[in-house]
Amino acid sequence: MAKNRRPYYHITDFTRKISNPLGGNTFQYLMVWFFIAAWTFIDPGFFQRCAAADSKDTAKKGILIAIGFWAVFDCLTILCGLYAIGYLQNDQGLLTYPLLAINILPAGMFGIFIIGF
């Protein structure tokens, strides 16, 4: 483990499997996740919330703000995962975030992380 290196070096230190757009998975696997994500567009709750807005501008502004937060959350999640792969260099995908947290966070913050996890 090269723990003293900067994050940039960990992120650029990946294998071919990780740089593969499908991540070593099949196209069918990708399509399953595509349809799970597409559920947002047919979820009745989404349309009910938009219809309950005071005006079209309020609904549009709310959707754009939600998309912004979604993008920030996804970027942070992906960057932390990529950093964990380079930092920990393990093959246990399910334990990536807990192992990264136990190696980086102080004891009190790790406790809060585990409670929220």
CA distances from 92 to 9, 23, 68, 97 (A): 21, 15, 31, 10
**What would the two tokens of residue 30 be?**
């990708």
**What would the two tokens of residue 83 be?**
């950093």
**What would the two tokens of residue 47 be?**
């349309």
pLDDT digits (tens, 9 = 90+) for 83-100: 887 777 777 778 888 888
- Three-state DSSP class for residue 53: coil
- Res 49: pLDDT: 87
94 vs 51, more confident: 51
25 vs 111, more confident: 111
Average pLDDT over residues 17-41: 84
Question: What average pLDDT is seen over the chain?
Answer: 83
First to last CA, the chain: 25
Give the residue extent of every domain in the chain.
Answer: 7-116
- Res 84: pLDDT: 82
- Res 15: pLDDT: 60
